[in-house]
């Protein structure tokens, strides 16, 4: 193996993908191998790829995301799920050596994968071993039927494959749920929601949002005041968090004109306008004197 040629190849991949460094690109590549292997051994629509990494890969958020998250559309015995994942891991091993550990909880299976990928082959350094976390939630179910997607990548050795994921509208509901339920909200939830609304003109389905909040969280339902409070918290950490995920960070403090919130449509318009233009905190604070829900 010519390391100089390999390094140049990965730099080119990094440029194409728009990631900040080749480390992220290699992890993206290994994520694709894991996904390819999982859906290759389970080519049915009962396992569903969700989360920020799914949004990044399928809907093109442009941000790097670390973990692979999944749900099922029906109940399965835990041992059956474990057998399917084990088959997928054996398939990954046909590409690169892999080791893993498993953490079992009541409704969750977590696999911590350690893969000796291309960078390890070049350096044989322990520091080059990539870690990928694979989380399977055995309790959560999709609101809509899963969407079948043909996945192709820039990596020639990875064959095209079909996977199953959520519709954009359900991803938006998931992101609003995440913003509402996190004690310490994270910037990438708001960024992903902004992407879905601006790029795909996603509608806000309040019935689905309230269903997810009430069934899967301690939050009793959507509340505009609480949502805006969480958004203000995100403003404080926006640049710090997004600088590690994007090459070019869209500024948070772009101001907009005040909106009147007298109807549900006005509330939706506020959410969309906020995410589109990243409300300045001073503008946001003025809303708390006029909002009535």
DSSP-assigned states of every residue in 41-106: H--STTEEEEHHHHHHHHH---S----EEEEESS---HHHHHHHHHHHHHHHTTTS-EEEEEEE-S
Closest C-alpha among 17, 21, 18 to residue 154: 17
- Does position 293 have pLDDT exceeding 50, yes or no? no
Q: What is the DSSP letter of 173?
A: H
Is residue 119 a contact partner of residue 126, using CB atoms and an 8 Å limit?
Answer: no
Q: Where are the chain's structural domains?
A: 3-166, 169-287
**Predicted confidence (pLDDT) per residue in 10-42, tens digit:** 999 999 998 989 999 999 999 999 999 999 877
Q: What is the DSSP letter of 127?
A: G
Is residue 222 a contact partner of residue 209, using CB atoms and an 8 Å limit?
Answer: yes
Q: What per-residue confidence (pLDDT) applies to 277?
A: 46
Closest C-alpha among 94, 8, 87 to residue 40: 87
Give the residues across from 49 on adjacent strands.
70, 165
CATH of domain 3-166: 3.10.450.620
**Predicted confidence (pLDDT) per residue in 48-98, tens digit:** 999 999 999 999 888 899 999 999 988 888 888 899 999 999 999 999 999
* Integer angstrom CA distances of residue 67 from 48, 54, 215, 274: 14, 9, 24, 27
Q: Alpha-carbon Rg of the chain, whole angstroms?
A: 20
Q: What per-residue confidence (pLDDT) applies to 177?
A: 96
For the chain, the 3-state helix, strand and coil shares in percent, each to the nearest 5, are: 50, 15, 35
CA–CA dist 292, 232 (Å, integer): 18
| Strands annotated E in 106-153 | 108-115, 130-137, 147-151
Percent of the chain with pLDDT over 90: 57
Is residue 75 a contact partner of residue 69, using CB atoms and an 8 Å limit?
Answer: no
Q: What per-residue confidence (pLDDT) applies to 289?
A: 39
DSSP letters, 234-250, are HHHHHHHHHTTT-SSPP
Q: What mean pLDDT is predicted for residues 242-271?
A: 60
- Measure CA of the first residue to CA of the last residue in the chain; give whole Å: 64
Q: Assign residue 141 a region: left if phi > 0, alpha if psi is -120 to 50, beta otherwise?
A: beta
DSSP letters, 267-282, are HHHHHHHHHHHT--HH
Confidence of residue 266 (pLDDT cuts 50, 70, 90): low
């Amino acid at each position: 193996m010519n390391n100089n040629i390999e390094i140049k190849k990965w730099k080119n991949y990094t440029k194409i993908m728009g990631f900040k460094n080749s480390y992220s690109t290699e992890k993206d590549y290994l994520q694709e191998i894991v996904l390819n292997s999982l859906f290759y051994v389970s080519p049915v629509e009962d396992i569903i790829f969700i989360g920020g990494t799914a949004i990044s890969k399928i809907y093109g958020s442009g941000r790097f995301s670390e973990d692979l998250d999944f749900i099922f559309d029906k109940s399965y015995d835990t041992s059956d799920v474990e057998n399917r994942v084990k088959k997928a891991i054996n398939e990954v091993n046909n590409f690169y050596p892999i080791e893993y550990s498993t953490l079992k909880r009541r409704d969750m299976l977590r696999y911590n994968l350690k893969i000796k990928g291309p960078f390890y082959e070049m350096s044989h350094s322990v520091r080059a071993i990539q870690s990928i976390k694979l989380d399977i939630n055995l309790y959560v179910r999709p609101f809509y039927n899963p969407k079948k997607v043909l996945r192709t990548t820039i990596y020639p050795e990875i064959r095209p494959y079909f996977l199953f994921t959520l519709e954009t509208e359900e991803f938006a509901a998931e992101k609003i749920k995440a913003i509402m339920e996190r004690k310490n909200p994270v910037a990438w939830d708001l960024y992903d929601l902004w992407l879905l609304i601006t790029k795909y003109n996603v509608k806000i389905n309040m019935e689905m949002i309230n269903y997810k909040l009430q069934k899967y969280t301690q939050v009793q339902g959507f509340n505009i005041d609480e949502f805006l409070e969480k958004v203000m918290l995100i403003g404080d950490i926006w640049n710090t968090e997004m600088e590690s995920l994007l090459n070019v960070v869209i500024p948070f403090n772009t101001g907009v004109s005040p909106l009147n919130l007298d109807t549900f449509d006005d509330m939706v318009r506020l959410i969309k306008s906020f995410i589109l233009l990243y409300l300045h905190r001073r503008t946001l604070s003025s809303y708390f004197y006029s909002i009535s829900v």
